[in-house]
A and B are shown apart, each in its own frame.
Chain A
Amino acid sequence: MKDFSIVGQSVPRNDGRAKATGTAVYTDDIKLPGMLHGKILRSPFPHARILHIDTTRAAALPGVKCVIVGEDTPKIKYGNWRLFPDTQDEYPLAIDKVRFIGDEVAAVAAVDADTAEEALGLIKVDYEELPGVFDIDSSIKEGAPVLHDYCPSNISVNRKIHYGDIDKAFAESDYVREDIFTVHAVSPAYLEPCAAVAQCDLDGRITLWTSTQVPYIIQCLLASTMNMRENDIRVIKPFVGGGFGGKMELRTWEFCAAFIAKKTGRPVKFTLTREEEFLAGRRRHGMKLYSKVGFKKDGTLTGKDLKIYLDGGGYNAMGPTATFLCGTFGAMLYRYPNYRFLGQHVYTNKPPASAMRGFGAPQSLFATETQMNIAAEELGIDPIELRIKNAQVTGDKIPDVATISSCGFIEALQKAAEMSGWKEKRRSPKPGQGIGIGCYSFISGGVFNWFNTQYPFSAAEVRVFTDGTAHLLTMAADIGQGCDTVLKQILAEELGLKMEDIRITSADTAVTPQADLGAWGSRLTMMNGNAVVQAAKKIKAKLFGAVSAKQNLNVIHELDCKDGKVFPKGRPERGISFGDAVALVQKANRGEPIVERGYYTPRDKGLVTPAFSFGAQIAEVDVDPDTGFVKVKKFWTAHDCGTVINQMAVEGQLEGSIQMGLGYALSEQFVMQGGKTLNPNFLDYKMPNAMDVPPSEVAHIHTYEPEGPMGAKEAGEGLAIPTAPAIAAAVHHATGYRCKDLPITPEKILAGKRQ
């Protein structure tokens, strides 16, 4: 393994001090002179036609400066799948029809938030209620109410994958297992509610500060919905209080802030309430999964036939990506010589589901992993042995998807078994206790260009100065996961500088290089990291040339930079300082500053991702025999993220994933009735707190990913996958109750035990 100076260290966050002292500015903290405050009027009905909207009384309320409805806007649909305009099914404000409770109908801007809120109550909307559909089965039934005229079947996306001969595979199998799984919707529940502030300058150009994961996507889609040019929109991402997938699309308040700012000439701020976030916010897809797998007697997998329906809610949002990915993930982890997948994205009259940590994988792999555990039991093979027998390894090809260029899955399985004392605990469990396993694989960013960007996927600009410092500019969005710190680390490592020598400017679309697709799909370390490395290499080529010439080095000498010096390898005493090397290059170019750019776009890497992470997680649980209450005693995780760039950050991702996975498995759910969310607050939406999270142990499996910067790949998103299947397996081990419909609740456990 290569010897690194800063890469691999637990470097504290770049912005830790600002956040610890409360000086970090989030979008809602921004206050501009003359700023108006906006509020959104939302539909009270899950499905209705808008007959008429009367805003007269609202507009007449003293303090109200602007009221807009859909008809006032350019009426241009948007959606992240620009490559397929048919999928763009949403207007910033509803035109003619509303499709879920909370669908946005009108917006008000007033001198303060209270006045804007009061004005909402004065807008009169005449609706004609329509029958709604609230689950997958009733939505796809013949004659079901149709949500979108363009889509009479209510199935908006179809995705098929097929390789091998699945029917033959099943015919030749010794054991075939068929199950139906249902998984529920959960909320990303980031702590910072969405907010946006817009300002329009005298030339009519817009600056938008917004709590987003995707500044570039917002810039483009805001431009198209406003009917403006992209370069006339500047998007700045202030500090963002978490996203987890929920902030990766253009949203109504961003459009309304910009539109009203342009209309009134005054800055406008919208901040959502927590209730709005829960009632109408994006969520992870609920799904219904039909999975059939075949095995030989010795446990060798023969094939899988997977059909998944996604409960999409009223609009596509990021549903198309989730539909593609749940099919891709269905073929991951194990070697399926034959595979067939059909994914269908189904409209329902509920808040749209979208991206959330794992992007289709937590659902798809819950089915995979649970079925693997069932099969192991029925075949009489240890669940870990069965996995090792079928595990993907480095070099494996997945047809139409990718070649796995690094894979530490088997090592992870072995390590997790060893750390947890698997064999002994599995063989002789104590009463009420159980141990179970779940595994994951995840992507390091996406390859498929659904956004149809005309720029590289990631870009970085590096400027170096004669005082021995550097400035990194990138559109990459740090939303708390820590990419500002990690990208600085990568640059510091390449240039031989210290963290404090590097200034970073990030996520401002007017000053950072075009472009970056944003913080999703665990893409930034891999993709933006590669762009940073490329820019740094160009800088080094310039410095090395100048130092070679100055020192009259033989052409066979290679140079290096480390500890703030540039020197011939093997002769560090002949080095000069980094700043002096920069000065030399500048002197040779009549003072021209050194600025270099690096780019990364995955090419010839299949259709899905340039690199996959892998891992295994084991959970040990205690189940109360009388109440069915599950207490997770401990987690053991072994994961392969390639080279660890920042140990503390990777651990933080893992520990955060456990909190989210625990909630997904046991406590978090939307209680819905006729399209209405009945638990729109943190008291009733039960997210694990500090008392709930059990101790955990982690092992990093060391692999080197050839496509990644310094051998790194995905960390943190994939880890949201294994927790639910691991807990489900442990609960089964403890009680005999096999969960096939998440979440695992005490009621289900007690009912299951009685059966």
Chain B
Amino acid sequence: MKQVIVLNVNGEPYTVAVYPWQTLNEVLREEINLTGVKFGCGSGDCGACTVMVDGRAVSSCLTLAIEMQGKEIMTIEGLAPSGETLHPIQESFVEKGAIQCGFCTPGMEMAALNLLKNNPTPSDYEIREALAGNLCRCTGYKKIIEAVGVAGQKMKEASERKTS
């Protein structure tokens, strides 16, 4: 039996009818058409489906949609809401060559956000550790790790500008 729930995604409320067994990934992709959220494995191993729930990165393929009522969900589509400017993480990924096929990119950027929002100046080791749950088959991670470092700098500078 489907149940009607309200999901807060990227600051907007969505009323959707879901089966209790449907994952957040399926509902985001199929019902709300947020296809930037990828589905790479369905078992929480690859990280391509990573979204933020109440400020924490989670695998949307392992999360039931029905448990997400009242929570703030953010997908890649919500990272740079204006559509014209990119978030510093996105900007750095593009500039540094951290993207090849792009399938891991949305999840990778979410994992980067999860790290950088609390720690904008992570060490190389901290970046690697934070990205270890996200697989990439194209880049060898090197340019992704660089991009996350640069993004952290950019975010720090932006927040310093804001406070000064």
Contact = CB atoms under 8 A, between A and B. Distances in A.
B137 A659 contact: yes
A674 to B, nearest CB: 24
Interface in B27-79: 29-30, 33-43, 45-46, 48, 75-77, 79
A691 interface: yes
B137 A22 contact: no
B97 A21 contact: no
A22 B134 contact: no
Interface string A680-693: 01110001011101
A31 B33 contact: yes
Interface of chain A: mostly helix, strand, loop or mixed: loop
B119 interface: no
Contacts of B11: none
A480 B138 contact: yes
A718 interface: no
Contacts of A689: 131-135, 141
B154 interface: no
B103 to A, nearest CB: 3
A19 B105 contact: yes
B160 interface: no
Interface residues of A, number: 55
Contacts of A239: 101-102
A274 B46 CA distance: 10
B43 A12 contact: no
A188 B101 CA distance: 14
Given A274-B43, A690-B144, A19 B137 contact: no
B150 to A, nearest CB: 13
B36 A479 contact: no
A246 to B, nearest CB: 10
A242 B132 contact: no
B137 A242 contact: yes
Interface in B68-93: 75-77, 79-80, 83, 86, 90-91, 93
B36 A696 contact: no
B156 interface: no
Contacts of B30: 31
A190 B137 contact: yes
A240 to B, nearest CB: 7
Nearest to A693: B141
A482 B39 CA distance: 22
B9 interface: no
A656 B140 contact: yes
A485 to B, nearest CB: 10
B104 interface: yes
Given A22-B75, A274-B41, A13 B140 contact: no
Contact of A20 (B29, B94, B135, B139): B94
B142 interface: yes
B142 to A, nearest CB: 4
Interface string A14-44: 0111111111111011010000000000000
Interface string B99-110: 111111110010
Contact of A655 (B104, B129, B140): B140
A191 B46 contact: yes
Contact of A29 (B35, B48, B132, B142): B35
A622 interface: no
B145 interface: yes
Contact of B77 (A22, A241, A651): A22
Given A21-B86, A193-B40, A682 B100 contact: no
Contacts of A274: 40-43, 46
Contact of B103 (A26, A654, A660): A26
A192 interface: yes
Given A16-B93, A17-B94, A21-B36, A656 B109 contact: no
Contacts of B140: 652, 654-659, 693
A479 B138 CA distance: 10
Nearest to A25: B35
A20 B40 CA distance: 17
A20 B90 contact: yes
| Consensus secondary structure, chain B interface | loop
A125 B86 CA distance: 53
B7 interface: no
A17 B102 CA distance: 10
B136 interface: yes
Category for how many chain B residues contact A: 35 or more
Nearest to B93: A20
B35 A656 contact: no
Nearest to B128: A690
A19 B127 CA distance: 21
Nearest to B78: A22
Contact of A690 (B29, B106, B131): B131
B95 interface: yes
B132 A691 contact: yes
Contacts of B77: 21-23
A20 B37 CA distance: 12
Contact of A22 (B35, B43, B128, B143): B35
Nearest to B92: A20
Contacts of A26: 35, 38, 103
Nearest to A657: B140
Contacts of B101: 190-192, 239-242, 479-480
Nearest to A112: B30
Contacts of B34: 22
A649 interface: yes
Contacts of A111: none
Nearest to A243: B101
B122 to A, nearest CB: 12
A497 interface: no
Interface in A638-665: 648-649, 651-652, 654-660
B103 A648 contact: no
Interface in A420-466: none
A191 B76 contact: no
A482 B143 CA distance: 15
A189 interface: yes
Most chain A beta-carbon neighbours within 10 Å: one of B77, B83, B97: B97
Contact of A241 (B33, B102, B128): B102
Nearest to A479: B101
Given A16-B99, A274-B42, A690 B105 contact: no
Contacts of B29: 29
Contacts of A12: 94-95, 97
A511 B95 CA distance: 31
A10 interface: yes
A373 interface: no
A551 interface: no
Contacts of A482: 100
A309 interface: no
Contacts of B94: 12-13, 16-17, 20
Given A189-B137, A689-B135, A693-B141, A683 B90 contact: no
Contacts of B48: 191
Nearest to B127: A690
21 contacts: A13-B100, A17-B94, A20-B90, A21-B90, A22-B105, A23-B77, A26-B35, A26-B38, A28-B39, A189-B137, A192-B40, A240-B101, A241-B102, A274-B41, A652-B138, A659-B136, A659-B139, A682-B46, A689-B131, A689-B135, A690-B144
The list of the 9 closest CB pairs from A to B, nearest first, reads: A22-B36, A480-B101, A241-B103, A19-B102, A655-B140, A682-B45, A22-B76, A16-B94, A29-B35
Given A13-B99, A274-B40, A660-B137, 8 more contacts: A21-B36, A21-B80, A24-B102, A192-B101, A651-B97, A682-B41, A689-B133, A690-B127
Interface of A: 10, 12-13, 15-26, 28-29, 31, 188-193, 239-242, 244, 273-274, 479-482, 648-649, 651-652, 654-660, 681-683, 687, 689-691, 693, 696
